[in-house]
Amino acid sequence: MSEEQKKVVVPGEILAESMEVLPGFGTYRNEKKIIASRLGLLSQEGKVIKIIPLSGKYLPQRNDIVIGQVFDILISGWRLEINSPYSAMLSMKEASHDFINKGADLTRYYNLEDYVVAKIVNVTSQNLIDVSMRGPGLKKLKGGRIIKINPFKVPRIIGKKGSMVSMIKNATGCKIVVGQNGLVWIQGDPAMEIIAIQTITKIEQESHLNGLTEKIKTYLEQHGLTVVKEESHDEQHDDHSGHEHRQDDQYGEQHDEQKGEEYEEN
C-alpha cells in the first residue's frame, strides 16, 4: 500500500462511471455509475471498488470472535447481545464440551448478564447468528471491565499480528480480549486497567494517523511502563491459538481478512 492518503467519500457520491469496475462493500451500481452508500475511505483492489467504513454498527461475519452478553435463556440455549442489530444464538450443543443433561439448570453454565467470548459459526441470509463456545480461548469472562469501541477500529487495536494489543498487555499486565464486534474486555490491577482503557481509547481516536505504534509506545512509557516491542514473533509467550493474525499497518487494508482475534491468559 502506498503512502498516499485515502479519499473520504460520502453516501451518494459517484465513485466511477464505467462497466469495467465492480461495486464492492459499501457501494452499489446504478446503470453505469458506481455510487457510495456509506461514509468511509475509498479503496480499489483490482477491478473492485469498495469503501472502508469509518463508523457504523458491527455486521456479523462467520469465524469472527465476538464478546457477547447473555440476555435471555431459552429451553435449548442462550441468546447473546453482540453489539449488532441482530442477536446471536448459543445452542446447548455448542455451549460446552460437557454433556448437559435434559432439564439441567442452564444458569449454572451461563447466567443472565454474563459476558462470554464466542465464535460466530454461521450467519444465515436472514441474519440469524449461531455462535459456539467450543474452541480455544472461548470462555466466560469473569469480572474486569467491558468497554465499547468503534467496531471498524478493532483491527487497529489488535495491530499487525496482534502486536498492538500484546504491547498494551505486556506493559500494563492486564488480560485483554478484543472482540470483532467492538467490545473489549480488560482485567488487571485497577490502576493498570485504567491506563489500558486510556490507551485503547487513544488508539481509537488516532487510528488514522501514521506512526501509531510509536505514539502508543511513547504514551505507555509516559505512564512509567516498560514497553517490550515485539517485532518478531519468534518468542511467543502468548497463546495465539494457532490463529492467523493478518493485519496490515496501513489503515483498513485487507478489510475482509481482518480477523486478528486476541484471546489468551497472560
Partner 1 sequence: MNEDIKHDLIQSLSKNLRVDLRKNEDLRSIEIETGCVATAEGSARVKFGDTEVIAGVKLAVEKPFPDTPEDAILMVASEMLPLSNPKYEGGPPGVDAIEMARVIDRSFRESRCIETKKLCIQKGEKVWSIAIDIAPLNDDGNLLDVGAFAALLALQNTVFPEYDGTKVLVDKKTTMKLPMVREPITVTVFKIGNAFVVDPTETEQTSFDARMTFAILADDKICSMQKGGDTAIMEEDLDIMLDIAIKTSQELRKKIPR
Q: Given the complex with partner 1, which of 34 and 88 has the nearer CB atom?
A: 88
Burial grade of 22 (CB within 10 A; 0-12, 13-18, 19 or more): middle
Residue 69 to residues 13, 77, 199, 240, Cα–Cα distance (Å): 38, 13, 24, 23
Tell me the closest approach of the beta carbon of residue 91 to partner 1, in angstroms. 22
Among 144, 200, 161, 156, which residue's Cα sits nearest to residue 180? 156
Task: Check binding of 197 to partner 1 (CB under 8 A).
Answer: yes
Query: CA 264 from chain center: how many Å?
Result: 15
Backbone angle region of 12, left / alpha / beta, with phi > 0 → left and psi within -120 to 50 → alpha: left
Task: Check binding of 187 to partner 1 (CB under 8 A).
Answer: yes
- Per the listing, cell 446471536 goes with 88
Chosen residue from 144, 160, 173, 253 binding partner 1 by CB under 8 A = 144
CA 135, 140, 145, 151 torsion-angle sign: positive
Task: Check binding of 143 to partner 1 (CB under 8 A).
Answer: yes
Task: Check binding of 114 to partner 1 (CB under 8 A).
Answer: yes
Cα distance between residue 182 and residue 83, in whole Å: 7
Task: Check binding of 55 to partner 1 (CB under 8 A).
Answer: no
Q: Looking at the DSSP assignment, which residues form a beta bridge with residue 177?
A: 185
Task: Check binding of 142 to partner 1 (CB under 8 A).
Answer: yes
Find the part of the chain contacting partner 1 (CB under 8 A) among 10-18, 109-117, 119-127, 164-172: 109-117
Find the part of the chain contacting partner 1 (CB under 8 A) among 1-9, 88-96, 157-165, 192-200: 192-200
Q: Looking at the DSSP assignment, which residues form a beta bridge with residue 48?
A: 22, 45
Q: Are 139 and 133 in contact (CB under 8 A)?
A: yes
Task: Check binding of 97 to partner 1 (CB under 8 A).
Answer: no
Chosen residue from 81, 94, 193, 238 binding partner 1 by CB under 8 A = 193
Tell me the closest approach of the beta carbon of residue 190 to partner 1, in angstroms. 4
Chosen residue from 127, 198, 218, 250 binding partner 1 by CB under 8 A = 198
Tell me the closest approach of the beta carbon of residue 27 to partner 1, in angstroms. 29
Q: Given the complex with partner 1, which of 57 and 160 has the nearer CB atom?
A: 57
Cα distance between residue 61 and residue 78, in whole Å: 19
Q: Are 258 and 64 in contact (CB under 8 A)?
A: no
Q: Given the complex with partner 1, which of 34 and 197 has the nearer CB atom?
A: 197
Chosen residue from 105, 191, 210, 239 binding partner 1 by CB under 8 A = 191
Tell me the closest approach of the beta carbon of residue 34 to partner 1, in angstroms. 33
Task: Check binding of 132 to partner 1 (CB under 8 A).
Answer: no
Q: How many helices (H) and strands (E) does the chain have?
A: 5, 16
Task: Check binding of 35 to partner 1 (CB under 8 A).
Answer: no
- Per the listing, cell 505514539 goes with 215
- Grid coordinates of 114: 454474563
Task: Check binding of 82 to partner 1 (CB under 8 A).
Answer: no
Binding site for partner 1 (CB under 8 A): 69, 113-115, 142-147, 187, 190-191, 193-194, 197-198
